[in-house]
Structure 1
Amino acid sequence: MISFDPQGLALADLLAIARHDTPAQFSAQARQRIDEGHRLLLKRAAEGTPIYGVTTGLGAAVDTPVAPLQATIPLGRAVGVGRLANRQELRAITAARLAGLAQGRSGISPAAAEALLALLNSGAEPEVPLLGSLGESDLAPLAHLSLALTVPLTGKDGLALVSANAASVGLGALLVAEAQQVLQAVLAALALSCEGYRANLSPFQPWASRLRPAPGQTEQSAALLHLLEGGDLAYSPRRLQDPLSFRCATVVQGAAQQALQQLHELIELELRSGADNPALISEESLVLATANFDSTHLALAAEGLGLALIRVAACSAERIAKLLSPASSDLPRFLITQPGHVGMAALQRTSAALVAEIGHLANPLPAVSVPVADRVEDYAGQALAVVDKTRRLTERVVWLASIELIVAAQAVDLRGVSRLGQGTRRVHDAVRSQVAHLDQDRSGSVDVLALSAFITDGSLTPFL
């Protein structure tokens, strides 16, 4: 049982809720905070204090004295289109919103908060379209989610349920986990490619990163050498200097790890924050208008991750090309010995197509968006759109890493490496558990998809 608490929710706990259906509850402190915030809301409203969305209209109608029916707030904002959130995504979004409510700053009624918690634990899967948020609160997806609640909405309940970036945060948490997995797979592919290519390991030695400690380089180089440890590659490189897709790989992947770490830290910041507008601060008896719904920091971090991953992908695709070329690898052309067979040549086309798509998805969203709400909302962070495209980008990097692993394993077989590193031997075994050695043409798609599923379900990790 995982507790939503004012101390915040760890990203690992959100993933357990989303991916493994781990049940959750509010801690006693969270329940107390929620109750205190709601009581302050009722007190201030009764005193005649203007409170956005409670005694005034919303958006452009902020200057209109009116008491909105809270049930109509989600109903009127359930305008999403596009694909529906799947089960993991729904649970991640819901858990992210519950983590925010546990801060006790939203003014939501205990009944409405408990109803959202019960929805999560019930396993219900309401239809939530994911297109429609501008990242200044994920109003549309959270409105669709809120329509599944059956309790009456009073006070500030309707606004508290939809005025948050829980979709961006929840899906951002899934993105962090997916990117961690893909960078792990790319590191494994790099190690196996080094074995198959008989690469020179000089750029990965500790002194190289001591001389210029680029972010993440030391850690990635150490991880690579750990996988290669126990093999004979260190004593038998073919060249003094290899192509940059090999030599610069741990610098590039270190930069990607740094970009991922930044996003990870920001997601965890959101999971321990109360970003409501207005915020109810019971210890100060204060109702505070905020701009904490803005998602620019999340959008920029996710964009940065995408830009880093296209560089990782470009290096991976080039390593594939080098392994397939006899002029570069000194191996049979396209890694096939049977005359008249295409071997792995066609997989290079797929890798090239993937790099093109990854590059397209890495292009940042425009910073300027169409103003809405009578131009009151004249800026948009767009975090949800950026997170969504970066997740699609990451999926394509998984497919590309699978291709590199397949090609590298074939190169190792044809090279006849006498002694692989202890880690690379395990990686090779993992690949061969899903994809057989290629001695005559067969459908490469089946192999790529099988290995990709093996990576995404976490089965590769125990081999590393």
Structure 2
Amino acid sequence: MENETVILTGRSLTLEEVEKVSRKGAKVEVSSEAIQTLKDARQLVYDLANSDVPIYGFNTGVGWNKDKRVMKEFFQQYNTNLIHSHCVAVTPEASIEEVRAVLLVRLNTLLLGCTGIQPEIALMYMEMLNRGVTPVLPERGSVGEADIACLSHIGLAMIGEGDAYFQGVKMSAKEALSKAGLDPVVLGPKDGLAIVSSNALSAGEGVLVVRDIEKLLDIADMVYSLSLEGLNGNTSPLDPKTHEIRPFPGQAFSAERISKYIEGSYIYEPNWKKPVQDPLSFRSAAHIHGAVRDALEYLKKYLTIQINSSDDNPCLILDERRIVSCSNFEVTNWVLGFEMIGIALSHVSKASCYRTIKLSNNEFTKLSRFLAPANNVIAYGTIQKAFTSLDAEIRHLSNPATTDFFSLAGEIEDHANNSPYVVQKTRKIVDNLLYILGIEALHSVQAIDLRTDITLGKGTKKAYKIIREKIPFYSEDRNLTIDIQKIYEILKDDKFIGEIMKAVELF
């Protein structure tokens, strides 16, 4: 992947490409047309300034200080001061992968030519990505109407101050730039505002969270398939005709995917001892997972627009040679998508918890209580505390936060979204869910083993094999924290779902 290059135009960046650059080391190249746009936009800003037009953040202050004039001889000092004064974020740091996503998203939106930034500074984002320079970026402190408190730390690294990583090693930003063969930038008019004022933190981190949710849903479908076999459950809710009658695309997709996983399974065999309907946590799984898939389509649509459009104020309109104050940093539309996803994932979590509880209940499985292999083994009794406590966190995190804001900056900035926090709490929900689904998977493979001599589906057979290669049958009581961490790491590894997809010929 390191040899792959993503060409940036400002208008065609995909969520998949963001992941390729941020996580897999793909290189970045800016199109020649985009470079020319940057040059033309910079010249227009100078032309307007020379005509004595007041330009926010160029020859005026920003925020409440918009009424203050900035003279030409103070441009460099003012923009350096702007970077310094906006560095107010607090830890924890965003990961290297996340910061790379932030750099990429901001670079792409700069290429639209709506800021008037120096082309050399815009291209510094590309050089940082390609040479492995990653600014240290505290990820808390932004209210989400442009992530100014956090993105200022990228500007700090660009001028050779603060800290950065070079090829994964943390050091001073000045040293990191030197090792990469880069000189610190010299800030000019409007450069400081262009660096700090965008939603690149929430959008960059948001793209990676969306990619993780897509993988999580495939995992959730797979784990449910194992649990259905562990329960000896009913397949009737997967009947494609029922989904044709109620044509919500997400549930039909999950139902089809689950059917692929369990194709050839013993649970299709007629069994008069089996109840005609299972508990809703089993019966409605495809529908619940499908609801998240449908919500995700909304979010992906608007997040893709976000990373391919300008969120700058003021907005330079190059073809009409004017600059307009606006509110394009407003992100309510796609931040609401993350809030919706958080609520939807809480349903996935609750259903998984209930399935796991049912798998420990001999009244439902007709197996032993807590899936114990013998009377003198406690098995999965206490583990219920662990996954239900994780679900309680998810329930709390799924509460909306986008409406919690103050009126700031002389009561001019009286709306906000808390978009970085909304994205970050969704990220935490996803991580908790991996543990919860992992614990469900531990129960499902144990139930499968206790049934003995049964035929698994094409996909579930592969999943069972991968899990059992690292986590043996629960034959006697042991430290389950170790098992929980192992199953979490199995599910988190892209190879898990990738190998299963190959087994069922989905790619």
1:457, 1:90 → 2: CA distance? 21
Match of 1:148, SS state, is helix
2:270, 2:416 → 1: CA distance? 55
The one of 4, 8, 23 equivalent to 2:12 is 8
* Equivalent pair of 2:203/2:303 in contact (CA under 8 Å): yes
Give the partner amino acid of 2:218: Q
Match of 1:460, SS state, is helix
The one of 237, 242, 245 equivalent to 1:208 is 242
Give the partner amino acid of 1:43: D
The one of 263, 271, 289 equivalent to 1:229 is 263
Following TM superposition, by how much is the alpha carbon of 1:366 offset from its aligned partner in structure 2, in angstroms?
Answer: 5.3
Which residue in 2 is equivalent to 1:460? 496
Map 1:61-72 to 2 at 5 A: 61-67=65-71, 69-72=78-81
Following TM superposition, by how much is the alpha carbon of 1:155 offset from its aligned partner in structure 2, in angstroms?
Answer: 2.1
Match of 2:79, SS state, is coil
* Equivalent pair of 1:135/1:381 in contact (CA under 8 Å): yes
Following TM superposition, by how much is the alpha carbon of 1:183 offset from its aligned partner in structure 2, in angstroms?
Answer: 1.3
Which residue in 2 is equivalent to 1:46? 50
Match of 1:24, SS state, is strand
Q: Within the alignment, does 1:107 sit opposite 2:116 as a pair? A: yes
Stretches of 4+ moved more than 4 A in 1?
none
Match of 2:133, SS state, is coil
2:104, 2:270 → 1: CA distance? 52
2:399, 2:152 → 1: CA distance? 29
2:469, 2:205 → 1: CA distance? 31
Which residue in 2 is equivalent to 1:60? 64
Give the partner amino acid of 1:427: A
Which residue in 1 is equivalent to 2:447? 411
Give the partner amino acid of 2:261: L
Judge which range, 162-171 or 109-118, deviates more: 109-118
1:457, 1:98 → 2: CA distance? 29
Map 1:214-293 to 2 at 5 A: 214-236=248-270, 238-293=274-329
* Equivalent pair of 1:77/1:143 in contact (CA under 8 Å): yes
Match of 1:454, SS state, is helix
1:71, 1:112 → 2: CA distance? 14
Which residue in 2 is equivalent to 1:24? 28
* Equivalent pair of 2:250/2:289 in contact (CA under 8 Å): yes
C-alpha distance 295-440 of structure 1, shift in aligned 2 (>3 A)? same
Which residue in 2 is equivalent to 1:154? 188
* Equivalent pair of 2:104/2:125 in contact (CA under 8 Å): no
C-alpha distance 357-236 of structure 1, shift in aligned 2 (>3 A)? farther
* Equivalent pair of 1:216/1:257 in contact (CA under 8 Å): yes
Which residue in 2 is equivalent to 1:396? 432
1:203, 1:268 → 2: CA distance? 34
* Equivalent pair of 1:181/1:455 in contact (CA under 8 Å): no
The one of 316, 323, 343 equivalent to 2:359 is 323
2:258, 2:65 → 1: CA distance? 58
Give the partner amino acid of 1:58: V
Give the partner amino acid of 2:56: Y
1:141, 1:122 → 2: CA distance? 22
TM-score, normalising length: structure 1: 0.97
Following TM superposition, by how much is the alpha carbon of 1:430 offset from its aligned partner in structure 2, in angstroms?
Answer: 1.9
Following TM superposition, by how much is the alpha carbon of 1:120 offset from its aligned partner in structure 2, in angstroms?
Answer: 2.1
Deviations 1:1-56 (A, max 9, x none): 21221323111111011101222121111111111111111111111111111121
TM-score, normalising length: structure 2: 0.89
Q: Within the alignment, does 1:371 sit opposite 2:404 as a pair? A: no
The one of 443, 446, 461 equivalent to 1:425 is 461
Judge which range, 63-72 or 369-378, deviates more: 63-72
Q: Within the alignment, does 1:174 sit opposite 2:208 as a pair? A: yes
Following TM superposition, by how much is the alpha carbon of 1:213 offset from its aligned partner in structure 2, in angstroms?
Answer: 2.1
2:295, 2:478 → 1: CA distance? 38
* Equivalent pair of 1:402/1:452 in contact (CA under 8 Å): yes
Deviations 1:290-328 (A, max 9, x none): 211112122211111110000001000000011100011
1:341, 1:266 → 2: CA distance? 52
> Any unmatched runs of 5+ in structure 1?
none
Following TM superposition, by how much is the alpha carbon of 1:66 offset from its aligned partner in structure 2, in angstroms?
Answer: 2.9
* Equivalent pair of 1:279/1:289 in contact (CA under 8 Å): yes
1:448, 1:460 → 2: CA distance? 16
2:493, 2:31 → 1: CA distance? 31
1:457, 1:103 → 2: CA distance? 36
2:442, 2:391 → 1: CA distance? 17
Deviations 1:79-101 (A, max 9, x none): 00120111111111111111111
Following TM superposition, by how much is the alpha carbon of 1:215 offset from its aligned partner in structure 2, in angstroms?
Answer: 4.3
Which residue in 1 is equivalent to 2:135? 126
1:278, 1:165 → 2: CA distance? 14
2:320, 2:268 → 1: CA distance? 64
Following TM superposition, by how much is the alpha carbon of 1:116 offset from its aligned partner in structure 2, in angstroms?
Answer: 2.4
Bigger relative contact order (CA 8 A; separation at least 6): 1
Match of 1:130, SS state, is strand
* Equivalent pair of 1:277/1:290 in contact (CA under 8 Å): yes
* Equivalent pair of 1:82/1:131 in contact (CA under 8 Å): yes
Match of 1:119, SS state, is helix
Give the partner amino acid of 1:314: K
Give the partner amino acid of 2:258: L
* Equivalent pair of 1:178/1:456 in contact (CA under 8 Å): no
Give the partner amino acid of 2:136: E
Following TM superposition, by how much is the alpha carbon of 1:417 offset from its aligned partner in structure 2, in angstroms?
Answer: 4.9
Judge which range, 64-73 or 329-338, deviates more: 64-73
Following TM superposition, by how much is the alpha carbon of 1:359 offset from its aligned partner in structure 2, in angstroms?
Answer: 0.5
Judge which range, 315-324 or 281-290, deviates more: 281-290
* Equivalent pair of 1:298/1:383 in contact (CA under 8 Å): no
The one of 72, 79, 99 equivalent to 2:88 is 79
* Equivalent pair of 1:18/1:89 in contact (CA under 8 Å): yes
* Equivalent pair of 2:404/2:418 in contact (CA under 8 Å): no
2:303, 2:419 → 1: CA distance? 12
